[in-house]
Each structure stands twice: as C-alpha cells, then as structure tokens.
Amino acid sequence: MTEHDDDRVRAGWAPFLQDGRRVVLRYAIDREASPHGESMSDALGTILSTDEQSVQVMTKRGVMTVPRALIIAAKEVPPPPVRRRGPAAP
C-alpha cells in the first residue's frame, strides 16, 4: 500500500457486500511474496461476514479474509452452474 491509500474514500463502497451473497473480489497482494510475481488475486465465493476492516469469503479452498483496503474491485455473481450428469454407462 502506498501512503495515499488511507485517503481513498471508501464509505458506502460496494453495498452489496453482505453476508450470504456470492461475489468475486479482486484484491492487491504483495508482488514479491507471490509465486509468479502477480500483483492481484481473486476470491470467488460466498460472504460469511463483513465489517469495516475486512470481508470473509468461503471459497472452494476454504475461508479467506480480505482486508477492505486491499479490495480493488468487487462484483456479485450468480450461483455456480448445476453439474449435469453424463450419459448412462453401457
């Protein structure tokens, strides 16, 4: 984070970030600590809880806590597609 990140106006940002909603969050990560030098990552899942500092999301890989100050973009997404059964075995 830079010294100006605290100056960003975030009040009321992304009001859909509520418990039980399925979302994808794009958030900043430490480029030097990431395995391939990425500067951003995504969390796709259902929101478990939110507060002024963070959003907790249940993803396929487990619970992730994303600091709100690091969230770059957020979007509500539809439920996952229903898996169809393949053709019956002979």
What pLDDT was estimated at residue 55?
95
* Rg over CA atoms, the chain: 16
CATH of domain 16-76: 2.30.30.100
pTM of the shown model? 0.73
The structural domains of the chain, with segments of one domain joined by +, span 16-76
What are the mean pLDDT values of the chain's consecutive 10-residue runs (90 residues total)? 50 79 94 85 96 94 94 92 76
- E-only strand ranges, the chain: 22-28, 40-50, 54-59, 62-67, 71-76
Strands 40-50 and 62-67, sheet pairing: unpaired
What pLDDT was estimated at residue 2?
47
Distance CA 90, CA 46 (A): 39
